[in-house]
Each structure stands twice: as structure tokens, then as C-alpha cells.
A and B are shown apart, each in its own frame.
Chain A
Amino acid sequence: MYHKEKSIQIKNSASALYNNLSVLRIAPRSLTYFTVVHANVVNMVSASWDGLNYSHRQLQSKEPNVATSTSLIMQAAWCVLPSRDLLVLTSQKGIQMYESDGSIMVYWHALDTPETPTAQAVFARGIAAVREKYICVGVSSGAMLVFDIPTKGSNITLAEVLEEHKESITDMASECSGSLECIADLVSADDAGNLCVWKSGEEFQLLNKIPGFDMCCSSVKLWKGTVVAGYGTGQIRLYEAVTGILHAEVSAHARWIYSLDIAPFSGLLLSAAEDSLVRVWHLTQTPETNSVEIAHMYNECVTDTQICGAKFCDGDGYAFAVTGYDLSEIIRYTQT
């Protein structure tokens, strides 16, 4: 179904972090941007679609006013809003937002870090752009920060702090189908596998809480009102977001799942894990019975690689990209 394309070399290898690959398509310029986190550096590559031009940029997790030390980065992700695209970095010290090409840092939010380290680690992780103007970021305390993003400029404000999770946030995702009929806008996941389903607005509204089973949910997606969650046990679960009804449970991987992605137009689902396997699934909704089904489509083994990032490169799932721990390349696959 897919075949391997030429890999993209990156300057530093990928760290073992959840969802450690972000992809942004810049259609007007026939470019695709990729980011991969390496310890305290973000590797950014812009690749032309003809495969002839690659340009690299590295971003450090430096706080603007402190010259002493840098901190480890937990995640880097592009946030696509109707008015603008931003690149968001989360680290042990705080949250950085850049223009999408990584050129200018437009916002810095410092986390409350104690003088001496505490048993509870401090970091931000989990990034999602929601509807017209919000970017949500998770924190290790379980809090979720909602930032209000102006259509241009750097006047970004912290609009709200949502405190429903008791465990560290692992990932969050907004409705990716673009459908305005879906009530739920955002789903957030934590270290204990608890899921919270939200409706965005001037005040975010908690629609539903889906209890976990003490197993970390490392990656989560929201597609046409269905929550797709990947767990440390290698399971994938499909829930109806607003009711929490379990539609499907898949024994998908032999080890910890690190990344899920959905191609919203085709309903293809990508899952990747420490077991070195990437699998492609197909989701179908049956509106009459109000149910969702999942079918297995394809396996790809990236030999001897604990995969930490996997993303579709387009909305149809025609191509996907993968990266793994200690790997200094982004491997791409396209449909045959």
C-alpha cells in the first residue's frame, strides 16, 4: 500500500518523546515543514515537494531573559489557525511560540519552576490549536493553559487555565475533520489515561470525562466526534467523545504507542510504537447506527527503531513520515 521514499536527513537525532514529529504543508509554496525534538534543540527542515531543496534550522529552548541554562524540550508542534500558523515549543521552563518558519519568537510563557527540583517534574507537553483563535498547552501539573491568539502580532494572552486533570498532560488534539457539526472541539489526555472532552469558547466547557484505567494515554486524536486514544499497553480505543461510549478496542502494538495521526479526509489512522511498527487503519462512521468501525490496512516495520513520531503529510493520507529514537532522519512513505 505504501513504499519507502528518500529519507530526509536531520542535524540531530530524535529524542524518545511522545508525538515527536510535526508536519506543516505550505501548499502555495509547494513546501512541507518538519520538526523533530533533540534534547534541548528543535530540528526544523523545510522540504520542497520536488525533493530537490532542503533547508535546515535549529531552535534552542532558550528563555529570552535568562542566559544561564537551556532546558530540555518536550514537544514541538505547528498550530494552524484560520488567520496564522505558529510553531509552539514546550519545555521544562515554559512555552515558546514562533512564527511558522521559526524565524521570530512572538511569545514566551514561563512555567512556575521551584528553586530546588521537586519529586514532581515540571514541564509543558500537549499542544493543540482550537477553532478560530485558541492554542491550548498542557502542563505537568495537569493544568491546561488556553492562549488567545490575535490574528497578527505578539499580543498573545493567557485566557484561561483549565484544571480538570490530576496527572501530567500527555497530549491533546482538536477536532480535525473541520466539521462544524461536532459539538466537541478538543480532547486532552493524561498520564493515568483520563480523557477530557471540551467545547471551546470565551470559557471552555467540559463536556465529558472519560476515565482511564491507570495506564498512560500517550497520544490522542479527535475525528468527527470520535476520540481515538493510544496507550502504553499498545491498545487503541475509540470513544464517542460526548457520551464516552466505547466503540472499539484494538490490541494494536506490542509496546508503548508514541504517536497517532488521522488523515481527516480519508479517515485513515496512523499508529506508531516502540515496537518498531507503524500501522495504518481505516475508520468508518455509520451515522444510522451512530457507530464507528476500524479496519486494519497496512503494516510497516522500521527495523530496530523505537518510533517516537509518525504523521501523515497530507489530509488524504497519501504520504506519511516517521522518526525514531536515535535516528537522524525522517523516513517518508507514499502510497503506491
Chain B
Amino acid sequence: MSSRTLPLLFINLGGEMLYILDQRLRAQNIPADKAKKADWIEADRRRVMNDIITTMFNKKFLEELFKPQELYSKKALRTVFDRLAHASIMRLNQASMDKLYDLMTMAFKYQVLLCPRPKDILLVSFNHMDAIKDFVKDTPSILSQVDETYRQLIEIYTPLSSGEFQLIRQTLLIFFQDMHIRVSIFLKDKVQNSNGRFVLPTSGPVPHGTQIPGLIRIFSCTGEEVSRLQFSNGGNYTSALREGSLEMFGDRVIKLGTNMYSVSRPVETHMSGTSKNSSQHTKVNTAPNPLAKEELNLLARLMGGLEVKKPGNTESGFRVNLFATDEEEEEALISRPDELSYGVINIQATKDQQANAELAKIMGEFTEAEDQSPHASSKGDDLLAMMDGL
């Protein structure tokens, strides 16, 4: 469908990823295991954020990204984000990466589904871009990279018609179709139902350019209004808000795409959603991929621009866990009190001075093992092998 979809998908998912990582990297005071008190240094958080953002907005990478093209399969895009998440010294294992990706995709699905007009996807993207700029506001070199992408987004997307934006939105909705992972922050906010479907309000402001439903106007042949009839609209709507700014700066008005996480609203996934997730994923992945053949080449070209840093012996690589293993997760479910049972994502960022050298070595091994995880079969693996060879 729309060949203009990939940049928006990438930037918005990337933005969500950064929100989650930032929040987890900041949350030093909530280690699950009191014995392993996290000792996070602000400089490391910044380094991770800067490294990932630098990679995300790499010039060569974005050149490929902005070329008109079809969307990748879910698996291929996941590979891109695996790489991106590992663009710094931080390491995620398979389960944590799964969780991270689930959260990112469900957040953006929600934003695409709920954005009032299709064109508002651009405002959602700008909310992400604004936040990304804020993350790197102290690093001018990265900031200018991000600004360049901003200009490109404005140049390409602002002239598009409402119909073209709807096509982009429909393309994104096909990409996210049948994903019903439950996210606790959404469940708590009552914007997601227990079956994983999002709540669609029949109240609140109508989209910009839309009138509150309820009025029928009848005209004569000469164009004069001859009668006005009211009808009950079955909802509780209010007038449209003003249109958000589509410039580089300004008030976007809509809140979708802004950072919904904070220390008091941490990143969590819903426990019971997990087993469902995996079956859901399997179902999605077995769907025939319309682009299997061309995709491999495109992806290889795209990812040629993605540099991946591997923590060497001298570097202090560390792992971020969102879930360690299924066993651990099950154990947590049984042993944890109810109020904490949603808090299944824990960061165990260990950067112990003494254990440093050895840890780095072990983590290096972990990373290797994860990259060849038995789950990431077929194409994903081949691609990763290919990238390593580049």
C-alpha cells in the first residue's frame, strides 16, 4: 500500500523504544532483588541514549529509510530494532527484547488507532521527535542529525492529502493487525480492554475539521438552506481542538506520542498477557509475507548504515533485563504480592567495579548466544549473519 509508511513506523517505534529504555535506565531505586542493588550512573544512561539516537538518525541509514518502499515483515523490522537496541553498551536478552518490542508496538498501534485524523499521525511523530530532541539537547552534533530528519519529515509529509495519510494509516493498521498484547499501563488507564482491544471513546473533541454529529441541513435547488434538523448522535462529543503545529517547533495539541512513562508510571507488561503473546506472535509470523524476496536485499541495504558496537574487554557492557527467562517470570508471578504482579519488567543493570572485567566477558558471550537464538529462525538469522560479515 502506501510506500511512504516505513519512515513513520521506524521513527515512532524508535521513539517508544527510547521512552521505555530511558525510564528503565532512570529507575535506579526499584531493583527487584534487593541483594543486587542497581548502581546506575547517569553518564551511562546518557551514553546509551546518545548512541542509540545517533544510530537511529545515521545519515546513510535514513537515506535508505526515506526511499519509497513497502513495509517490511514484522520479523524483519524486529531485526532492525534488535540491532538498534544493541547500538550501545547495553545488552538485552531475547525475552527482554521481546517485551521491549511488544511494548513499543502496542503503544504505536494505540496511537495510530486513536489519532483523530489520519494526518495526526504526523503530529504523533512530531511528539516523538520533540522528545528525542530533548534527550540529546546537550549534544549538538546529534541534535543537528535529528533536526535534519525533522526537516525531511516536514518536506515529505506535510504536502500529502488526507487520502494519502489515510492510506499510510491503513498500511500501519495492517502491520499491527491481530496484535492484542495487554499492556498494564493501558489497562490501568482503562484505554485497553482485558481482551487486548483498545477502547474507542464516543465522547470528547471531534477531529479538527469535523463537526459534532447531529445536524442535517436541507437546501433548495437555488442553494438556500430550507431546513435544519437535529438528531441524537449517540455520543457525547465536544468541538474540535485547534490544529496542532506542523512546523519544526510548536504545540502539537494532541498528546498521543508523548512520553507516557514516568517514575510513578513505570514500564510494565501485564503478566497474564505473556503466554497469549507468544501464541499471537506465532500466528502473525506464519502469515505469508508478501515481500519475502525483495525484502532481504532492502533490509541488508538499510542495515548497512547501522553500526553495532560490541562491548570489548575494556568497555563496561551491561545487560538490561525486562524478563530474564520464562521460569523466572513464572516464579515472580507466584512469589510476588498482587500489587507488584504487574511489575514484571526489572532492570538489573549491574556495573560492579570488581566484577567488571569478568562480567563484560560473560555478557559478550550472552550477546553472541542471543543473536543465534533458536527462536529467531530462518531469515532473521541469515540477515544477522550477513550483517556481521559486513
- Point out residues on A near B: beta carbons under 8 Å: 12-13, 15-17, 38-40, 60, 68-72, 74, 92, 116-121, 123, 167-168, 170, 190-192, 214-216, 218, 232-235, 245-256, 275-277, 289-291, 293-296, 299, 301, 303-306, 325-326
Contact = CB atoms under 8 A, between A and B. Distances in A.
8 contacts: A39-B177, A74-B1, A191-B164, A192-B161, A254-B207, A277-B235, A304-B197, A304-B200
A294 B216 contact: yes
B136 interface: no
Given A39-B177, A233-B211, A255-B207, A247 B218 contact: yes
Contact of A248 (B69, B162, B211, B216): B216
A192 B173 contact: no
B197 A326 contact: yes
A121 B167 contact: yes
A69 B290 CA distance: 5
A67 B116 CA distance: 40
B206 A234 contact: yes
Nearest to A72: B1
A251 B216 CA distance: 7
Interface of B: 1-4, 67-70, 113, 116-118, 161-164, 166-167, 169-170, 173-174, 177-178, 180, 193, 197-200, 202, 206-207, 209-221, 223, 229, 231-235, 237, 287-288, 290-294
A115 to B, nearest CB: 10
B174 A15 contact: yes
A92 B69 contact: no
Nearest to B109: A326
A40 B1 CA distance: 11
B213 A234 contact: yes
B1 A301 contact: no
Given A119-B68, A249-B217, A250-B215, A299 B233 contact: yes
B177 A256 contact: no
Contacts of B177: 13, 15, 38-39, 325-326
Contacts of A295: 216, 229
A300 to B, nearest CB: 8
Contacts of B210: 233-234, 251, 254-255
A167 B290 CA distance: 26
Contact of A17 (B170, B193, B237): B170
Given A15-B173, A40-B290, A248 B212 contact: no
Contacts of B219: 245-249
B246 to A, nearest CB: 16
B100 to A, nearest CB: 23
A13 B3 CA distance: 23
Nearest to B223: A246
B113 A306 contact: yes
Contacts of A68: 292-293
A303 B212 CA distance: 19
B166 A254 contact: no
Does more than half of chain A's interface fall in helix, strand or loop, or is it mixed?
Answer: loop
B162 A214 contact: yes
Contact of B173 (A16, A121, A167): A16
Contact of B202 (A191, A232, A276): A276
A88 to B, nearest CB: 18
Contacts of A301: 202, 234
Contact of A299 (B206, B212, B221, B234): B234
Q: Which of the listed residues B117, B173, B231, B292 has the most CB atoms from chain A within 10 Å of its own CB?
A: B231
Contacts of B235: 254, 275, 277
Nearest to A15: B174
A326 B178 contact: yes
A117 B6 CA distance: 12
Contact of B218 (A12, A235, A248, A253): A248
A282 B368 CA distance: 66
Give 10 nearest A-B pairs by CB, closest first.
Answer: A191-B163, A296-B231, A216-B163, A251-B211, A299-B234, A117-B3, A16-B173, A117-B68, A251-B215, A119-B68
Contacts of B161: 167, 191-192, 214, 216
Contacts of A72: 1, 174, 290
A245 B221 contact: yes
B293 A191 contact: no
A216 B162 contact: yes
B287 A325 contact: no
A121 B163 contact: no
A150 to B, nearest CB: 32
A34 B209 CA distance: 34
A117 B70 contact: yes
Contacts of A252: 213
Given A299-B234, A306-B113, A325-B173, A256 B217 contact: no
Contacts of B170: 15-17
Q: Which of the listed residues A39, A120, A305 has the most CB atoms from chain B within 10 Å of its own CB?
A: A39
A215 B215 contact: no
A293 B169 CA distance: 34
A251 B228 CA distance: 11
A69 B202 contact: no
A255 B116 contact: yes
A304 B193 contact: yes
Contacts of B169: 16
A254 B213 contact: yes
B226 to A, nearest CB: 8
B200 A276 contact: yes
B221 A290 contact: yes
Given A121-B167, A123-B1, 11 more contacts: A15-B177, A16-B174, A60-B288, A116-B68, A117-B70, A118-B3, A119-B3, A168-B167, A248-B218, A251-B210, A254-B207
A293 B218 contact: yes
A276 B114 CA distance: 12
A275 B236 CA distance: 12
